[in-house]
Structure 1
Amino acid sequence: MAASSPLALLLYLTAVCLVTNTSWAWVRTSACNLEITGTYEDYEYVQEGDIMIGGVLTVNSFIVPFKYPWDSYSRMLCVWPLPEYYRQFVDFHFAIEKSNNDPLLLPNLTLGYHISDSCGDPRKAVRSVLQILSGTREPVPNYSCVGKRNIAGFIGDLSSETTVPIAQILTLYGYSQISYGATDTSLSDRVTFPYFFRTLQSDHGHYFSLSKLLKAFGGNWVGIITSDDISGEKELQILTNYLSIDGICVEFTIKISDNMDDISAVGNIRHHLPYKNIIQKSTTNVVILCGKISLGVIGKLIIYTDVLSEKILVVSPTLTSKNHIIDYSLEIFSNILGFVQHSAYSVDSREITHYLESFRPSTYPEDKLLEDIWLLYHLCLSKQQHKNYLYANLYKYELHNCTGQKRITDIRHFDSKLYSPSVALAVDMMSHAIHAMHISLAERPPENRKQMYKYQLQEYLNKLHYKTTGGTTVSFEKNGELVTWYMIYNCILEPNNQISVNYLGTFQPRDPLDDKSMIRSHQIIWISNKSQIPSAQCSASCLPGLRKVPRIRAQPCCYDCAQCSEGDISNATDSENCYKCPDMEWPNEKRDQCILKSEDFLSYSNHEISMLFGSVSLFLSVLTVLIMGIFLKYRDTPIVRANNRSLSFLLLVSIKLSFLSVFLFLGRPVDITCMLRIITFGITFSIAVSSLLAKTIMVCVAFKATKPGSSWRKWLGVKLSNSVVLFCSSIQIIICMTWLAISPPFQELDIHTSPGTIIIQCNEGSAIGFYSVIGYMGLLAAVSFVLAFLARSLPDSFNEAKYITFSMLLFCSVWITMIPAYLSTKGKNTVCVEIFAILTSSAGLLACIFLPKCYIILITPETNKKFYLTGKTCGYVK
């Protein structure tokens, strides 16, 4: 096969074409005469039918000027037919034949066609449209010599350059048009082009999807190479806009002209050397190709082969179908990432396979395009001697006779893995719209249907909604575009110089691409032959828990990472800001998520100090009960009777309750325990101190009553002591009840004092109430201390005054030092201070008051006799 050798001349032919394209599409011969430029070969295909569909397709790549030796009239010569483009032409035929063979589609009607090759040139495209409309060899505007021809609409063209002038003409005549390749955004304007439709998306849709694809792969740092023309400028503006929206920055932009006159000149290489250095020094590994990527642009990019081969080239769907461009420099396209719009029309069937294999010159001897393809790719002679001579000189090949039996499917790129049957889909969609319109207009007179077909097809194309043979539901959007999902692919150059295509997955352009499971990135084979995605970032991604810090005078994609502040988190990669956790939550160590704050209180099970306090409280409670038992057993002994048995038992019960009140301070605080804590201890300890006060008063009264005729004798007895205890305790009870009524203690959650911790504590409610309870206990203790201190030296063997003095001194010392400690601590530490004060003060009372008596009762029982009492006391006892 000679497919590779013609590529060497393709560059030269393109240069000739580009020079020719600068001429005007109309040749003015005189002030009053306007003629359309003629052609060497029009490449027209006509099959009459009840309803006709016009087709303007691109099969030949471009046009070169041509003149016969015997005249000076310049003509357009279409050259370089491409197999992948001819495949679209074959699909047109197949789709028409399939529609005609469908008994449910347009019954009793036959679809016909009139197809012409635009040769990728606007002048030839305009000529083709006018030829189809006029039905003549030479186009005549506003005239049709085929009066009975019923043209419903047009299919075409491939490029925006040829489609726009076609759409401008067809809009004037009211004909609907479906393009299979034009992506110019201006064609989506329904005011200017109300009859225009297309089986793909515009550049807006393509570059929107490309940006989303890059974002899905985690890239935000790219380079762009575009064509230096109007098309390149427009696409660059659209692309950079979508990249900016998705947070992707452009490291460099290089514009390449498609002028190929000086492609191999030394001056051209020097001109592009700075651009090559830019690419070589760039930090991104991803370069996007946009604009009109022609052979001229690729020819210039050959200079960049060594640096581009180390990059990942991202290409749009418009370049995917141009296999001849990729073939021109396989090294440049040695590793590309692209996507192609899925065609809802299925061509994977035995029927289409058999149909394609029948296309050969021996079967279709009148097919000029097929003849040219055999001439170019198999070097076969045609039936026209002049054409053989012309093409042999044009392509610089030696032609020979062929049998014409080879299959077209054997030609390289005729059927590729990335092929999309968009022409067949366009014909199928127009056929279904014509079918719907025909049913609607069936009751109209036949003579009126012709004009109705032309003008009303647009309405039925807008309403079109059906399911294709492939099972996909298709319909046009409001802007005339067909939106379907994309297939993502990765191409790699194999050692045998063949491009292998690897499908990665699919995605919808309008859906968010956060779910990367739609893209099988592990199947991608990059330049390094690893599945790891190449770097396309100016800065390493800031992991969750970090935030981006912009660099000075740098693009937004270039930044440093800083850890979130205390109390803040970031739960997304490349987060620009950190966010505070809710009040009840706190960041984890990585600061990438909020977790519940730990609760801080004096727990029963999780703190050793709680177990210690509980054990001490139980031990002292048991000790108090034992002492009570001892006093109960020896209640009739002199030492027990001499110290007011009832007050002693009341004091022991109060001390025991004080010890047990410690358990109200342990565990998770709730409102009820907060109210009972201080109040319970305050009342019980006030009873204990009141009992000591009553004991001290009784000692003083007894000493006063020893004098003969003293009036203090009437105060001797239990009434005085009981009255003192009841009166003093009642005041404390009144204070506590008032506190509870006005502003009682309650559970409080302190979320600010200790970061990451919720301190569960009791709020006093009213500070006045709290300090009133403590202050009143202090007042009782002070009075008891003063009286006991004064009565400490009274002549009595069992005088308790000196023991009460020490106990009250201990109580005052403990609670005075407790106040600053209480104010300077929070949470469980505050509770520990309170428990320590309670245990210490209560244990002081127990030790100072009762242990000496227990020592006498248990250790020295011989001293617990009335003899010792009467021998050492004053005369009043006797």
Structure 2
Amino acid sequence: MNIFSGMDTGIPNYSCKTSGRLGAVIEGLSAEQSTEFSSLSRIYHYPQISYTSGNLVMSDTVKFPYFYRTVPSELHLCAGIVKLLKHFGWTWVGILASSDENSMRAVQILREGIEQSGGCIEFIETFHHSNSLILQNLDNIQNTIITSSAKVIILYCNRDYTEYVMHSSIWEAPGKVWIITAERLFFLPSYNVDMKNNFAFTVGKKSIPNFHKFVREVNPALFPSDLLIQAWWKDLCNHQCPKSIQRSCSSNETSDYLLHCDIAILGSSYNVYNAVYGLAHALHDMISSISGNTNLWSGELESILDFLPWKLHHYLKNLHFKNVLGETIFFDENGDLAIGYDIISTVVLPNGTRSIEIVGSYNPYAPLGEDFAINEKVIVWEDLFSQAPPQSRCSLSCLPGFRKLTREGKSICCYDCIRCSEGEVSNQTDMDTCITCPEDQWPNQKRDACIPKVITFLSYEEPLGITLTFIIIFFFLITAVILRIFISYQDTPIVKANNRDISYILLISHMLCFLCSLIFIGRPEKVTCILRQMVFGITFSISLSSILAKTITVVLAFQAIKPGNKLRKWMSSRFSNSIVLSCSLLQALLCLIWLCTAPPFPYLNMKSETGTILIECNEGSIVAFYCVLGYLGFLAGISFIIAFLARNLPDSFNEAKYITFSMLVFCSVWVSLIPTYLSTKGKYVVAVEIFAILSSSAGLLGCIFLPKCYIILLMPERNSRKYITKT
């Protein structure tokens, strides 16, 4: 009231101005006192500029419309603490705070920020303003801190209560990292406590030009009523003061050493400097705007200043200038100076002395990515920690290849690590869920990365493909040799028996059956997938039709020799050829319908084998596929039945027994193929198909033609009409 009235008695609503009206108040009060002072100053609309208080409550421009400060709001301080925790990966922390309104609001903001960044708070302990209550609560708080698994403790309170904590047994809890907000305590010499592994956010300090000279040379006589100036003036005699501010002292001058001389340099000097010059620029802008010039007589200036409290706010809000250091000074929308923090920490030198070092910075007004920085090389960690920097987590990090599983009833930061399921990976630490690999990729052995699946198919380069190729060529050549033998001995009775032309067709179709197996080897393409089934179905239908024609010919031959039998006219080769042609054309028609409706196509099978992509031929229409196979089975069955019924005809002329055996082999091979086909995976399915084609074709070839070749080559005396017609 004295300040506002200009009188020692402090009469409300009365101003006794003797040397000009009050323009504004620059103060360095505590957060609580600053709030109380603002409640009074806003009644008179006086601007209030604080150079120390970052009180969160006073960021409310509705309740405190005339409040400005040259320090950041503690809202930014909370954000900086969250950034520091996130940088070191500290997700499990404890909070110790005083119970005042500002600290409680800050704790709530800290909680939200920590949880949003993926962290958790193990405990929040508070203490009250009463000193007696503080002493009563310390034992419980100490027990909580010592027994907690959190390695990081945030101490959020003003400097008075921080002093209580630092001088108490709480501070002696081993293996803890402290983050405190009262940075001034770092510089006070009265604190002999171990300050290792402690961090504090301090408003960025700058070296003001000529300020050291001013501190060294200023005479306290100019301020006779200020006892504090006399105290630190004597303190400048101390040899621990920097030489830039240390003054020469007479021997009778003594230092009470109330405050270390660094306070004059590292305290709020830069904040005061910006507050004074900011107000001066606002005044200058206001006077220039009102008068149009700055050269005013004292009477004119006094007249302008009469309106100061109502006019100065506009110019403070729009303040924008560069100070002597070239830094742009302006207040943001909340009346806070756009300035950042330095992060300081205590470094213990090899000789045992302490040094306060700037280890990082946080500027909330800088672009994202450039707002936070830490120099870890400067930090010296306590020997009690098993690793540097120490870890503060409820659970160990889940390595890539694992995911987190939150423990029931526990915080989300307390979890177990379980391995990713088959087909999933996690490529970062502490992932909540695993990522499913794309269809063409598969997890590696550690399940921390997706790798391309191995593309596989039955190729000509691998041993199995080479072996099958040689077998196919071998049987093809054997069939070609048999055909050559039959052509060479085409006029002999054993070749002429049972329709020589049908034998040629059967041998040629066998050669094609062996060759069609080659289409099954190699990378499946659109053309090869179509040719596989079409060529296989048609060539096998020709072979089975030829065997059916041979079987019918055998039966007709013995029936025709009976006197008066009318079947003799069906004994011609035209009839046998018509059987082969008609049966083969019917199979070709089925294949054509298959080709026109849903033809086979290449297909990437990514599920049959783990970690591989099998290139195979999809049958397209399953119905058409089974119709083609069923028709072949039908021809084989008819041939087998007729041959079986004719097996007792005279051996010297009869092929029915050989056909019966060949059909038995054929049917056995393809029936056994079904369970083998269903139990086989990958490229070996194709190998099974090739084996079935080769073995069934070889069975037909061996049972029907090898006995005849044996007679032709080794027993020519039996290759005579007389022997064949013998009963």
Q: TM-score range by the shorter chain?
A: 0.7 to 0.9
Partner Cα separation in structure 1 for residue 9 and residue 235 of structure 2: 28
Partner Cα separation in structure 2 for residue 623 and residue 508 of structure 1: 88
Change (3 A) 1:541 1:690: same
The corresponding residue for 1:249 is 120
Partner Cα separation in structure 1 for residue 307 and residue 655 of structure 2: 125
Contact 1:309/1:334 (8 A) holds in 2: no
For residue 314 of structure 1, report the CA deviation from its aligned partner. Answer: 0.9
The corresponding residue for 1:836 is 691
- Residue 545 (structure 1) aligned with residue 394 (structure 2): no
Partner Cα separation in structure 2 for residue 411 and residue 742 of structure 1: 96
Partner Cα separation in structure 1 for residue 682 and residue 108 of structure 2: 62
Q: How does 1:769-788 map to 2 (within 5 A)?
A: 769-788=624-643
Contact 1:357/1:407 (8 A) holds in 2: no
Change (3 A) 1:516 1:613: farther
Partner Cα separation in structure 2 for residue 609 and residue 711 of structure 1: 55
Change (3 A) 1:322 1:818: same
Partner Cα separation in structure 1 for residue 269 and residue 641 of structure 2: 107
Quick one: which of 221, 224, 230 aligns to 2:95?
Answer: 224
SS at match of 2:167: helix
Change (3 A) 1:411 1:307: closer
Contact 1:547/1:575 (8 A) holds in 2: yes
Could you list the per-position Cα deviations for residues 197-226 of structure 1 after superposition, in whole angstroms to 9, with x for gaps in the alignment? 223332222122212311221112222322
Quick one: which of 446, 457, 460 aligns to 1:590?
Answer: 446
For residue 824 of structure 1, report the CA deviation from its aligned partner. Answer: 4.4
Partner Cα separation in structure 1 for residue 537 and residue 550 of structure 2: 20
- Residue 358 (structure 1) aligned with residue 214 (structure 2): no
Change (3 A) 1:410 1:551: closer
Change (3 A) 1:332 1:289: farther
Contact 1:784/1:808 (8 A) holds in 2: yes
Letter in 2 for 1:320: E
The corresponding residue for 1:164 is 35
Letter in 2 for 1:402: E
Partner Cα separation in structure 1 for residue 137 and residue 60 of structure 2: 39
The corresponding residue for 1:860 is 714
- Residue 194 (structure 1) aligned with residue 76 (structure 2): no
The corresponding residue for 1:372 is 231
Q: How does 1:47-86 map to 2 (within 5 A)?
A: none
Could you list the per-position Cα deviations for residues 768-802 of structure 1 after superposition, in whole angstroms to 9, with x for gaps in the alignment? 22221111101111122223334445447464333
For residue 720 of structure 1, report the CA deviation from its aligned partner. Answer: 1.6
Quick one: which of 282, 285, 291 aligns to 2:157?
Answer: 291
Q: How does 1:718-797 map to 2 (within 5 A)?
A: 718-752=573-607, 754=609, 756-795=611-650, 797=652
Quick one: which of 148, 153, 176 aligns to 1:282?
Answer: 148
Partner Cα separation in structure 2 for residue 510 and residue 565 of structure 1: 44
Partner Cα separation in structure 2 for residue 510 and residue 579 of structure 1: 36
Quick one: which of 343, 347, 351 aligns to 2:207?
Answer: 347
For residue 451 of structure 1, report the CA deviation from its aligned partner. Answer: 5.7
Partner Cα separation in structure 2 for residue 347 and residue 676 of structure 1: 87
Contact 1:564/1:591 (8 A) holds in 2: yes
Partner Cα separation in structure 1 for residue 355 and residue 70 of structure 2: 26
Query: Kindly, what percent of the aligned residue pairs are identical?
Result: 40
The corresponding residue for 1:871 is 722
Change (3 A) 1:433 1:648: farther
Could you list the per-position Cα deviations for residues 421-457 of structure 1 after superposition, in whole angstroms to 9, with x for gaps in the alignment? 2222333444454555555445499677546654344
- Residue 311 (structure 1) aligned with residue 165 (structure 2): no
Contact 1:251/1:284 (8 A) holds in 2: yes
Could you list the per-position Cα deviations for residues 539-579 of structure 1 after superposition, in whole angstroms to 9, with x for gaps in the alignment? 22222332333334444333332223333433443333444
Change (3 A) 1:781 1:591: same
Change (3 A) 1:629 1:175: farther
Partner Cα separation in structure 1 for residue 489 and residue 223 of structure 2: 134
Contact 1:227/1:293 (8 A) holds in 2: no
- Residue 411 (structure 1) aligned with residue 267 (structure 2): no
Change (3 A) 1:149 1:613: farther
Could you list the per-position Cα deviations for residues 693-727 of structure 1 after superposition, in whole angstroms to 9, with x for gaps in the alignment? 22223333333444566544433443222211110
Letter in 2 for 1:312: V
Could you list the per-position Cα deviations for residues 272-295 of structure 1 after superposition, in whole angstroms to 9, with x for gaps in the alignment? 43433333323222221111231x
Unaligned stretches of 5+ residues in structure 1: 1-126, 380-398
SS at match of 2:416: strand
Quick one: which of 417, 425, 435 aligns to 1:561?
Answer: 417
For residue 641 of structure 1, report the CA deviation from its aligned partner. Answer: 4.1
SS at match of 1:533: coil
SS at match of 2:659: helix
Q: How many residues align?
A: 709
- Residue 800 (structure 1) aligned with residue 655 (structure 2): yes
The corresponding residue for 1:427 is 276
Partner Cα separation in structure 2 for residue 291 and residue 494 of structure 1: 29
Contact 1:359/1:408 (8 A) holds in 2: no
The corresponding residue for 2:245 is none
SS at match of 1:479: coil
The corresponding residue for 1:389 is none
SS at match of 1:802: helix
Unaligned stretches of 5+ residues in structure 2: 239-249
Contact 1:235/1:291 (8 A) holds in 2: no
For residue 487 of structure 1, report the CA deviation from its aligned partner. Answer: 3.2
Letter in 1 for 2:722: G
For residue 141 of structure 1, report the CA deviation from its aligned partner. Answer: 4.5
Q: How does 1:682-721 map to 2 (within 5 A)?
A: 682-707=537-562, 710-721=565-576
For residue 147 of structure 1, report the CA deviation from its aligned partner. Answer: 7.2
Letter in 2 for 1:718: S
SS at match of 1:330: coil
Could you list the per-position Cα deviations for residues 361-416 of structure 1 after superposition, in whole angstroms to 9, with x for gaps in the alignment? 4898887543232356769xxxxxxxxxxxxxxxxxxx984399x99999344334
Could you list the per-position Cα deviations for residues 284-335 of structure 1 after superposition, in whole angstroms to 9, with x for gaps in the alignment? 22221111231x652454231673354211112xx113445x5333325333
SS at match of 2:93: strand
